[in-house]
Amino acid sequence: MLTATGREATSKGDAERARAPIPSSVRFDEPSSRIVVDFTNGAAFMVPARSIQGLENATPAQLAEVELLGETGLHWETLDVDFTILGLMKGIFGTAKFMEAQRRGGQSRSAAKIEASRANGAKGGRPRKIS
């Protein structure tokens, strides 16, 4: 039996849930290589599939196996990968170490990158912006 406070809390929770976007479906969109979450309010959220830890080397067929885990998560059974939708929406695509490696990926200083930069500099470098 609920007390008055319990009924009030339940009523408040139900009202909040009615306003919140609830995930209705999830799919892998192969042409864009994105995971797409559709919500009951008509909104959608997309995230690059290979930016998510555990999915970097997955095949399109494996990525297509994505399923909703309740109303809060995404699950890939064969890959044993789970993520919360809210976490992905906040830009959390993996562990801190994984995220740092992803961020630094474009900042690598390989010999080939240094050589290409020097060759571009010899041609006059990057074009100046016109104000």
- At 6-49, the pLDDT tens digits run 888 888 877 777 777 899 999 999 999 999 999 998 999 999 99
The architecture CATH gives domain 19-97: 2-Layer Sandwich (3.30)
Closest CA to 24 of 76, 70, 89, 83: 70
pLDDT at residue number 23: 94
Quick: pLDDT tens for 105-115.
656 667 777 78
Of residues 35 and 101, the one with the higher pLDDT is 35
Instruction: Kindly list the domain boundaries of the chain, sorted by start residue.
Output: 19-97
b/e per residue 97-117 (b: at least 16 CB within 10 A)? eeeeebeeeeeeeeeeeeeee
Can you tell me the distance from the alpha carbon of 25 to that of 68, in angstroms, rounded to the nearest whole number?
A: 7
CA distance 50 to 56: 4
**Distance separating alpha carbons of residues 126 and 131, to the nearest angstrom:** 15
Strand spans (E) along the chain: 23-29, 34-39, 44-48, 67-69, 73-76, 81-84
Residue 60 burial (C-beta neighbours within 10 Å; 0-12, 13-18, 19+):
exposed
pTM of the predicted structure, to 2 decimals = 0.67
What are the phi and psi torsion angles at 57 (to 5°)? Answer: -115, 15
pLDDT level of residue 1 (50, 70, 90 thresholds): low
Phi and psi of 59, rounded to 5°?
Answer: -80, 160
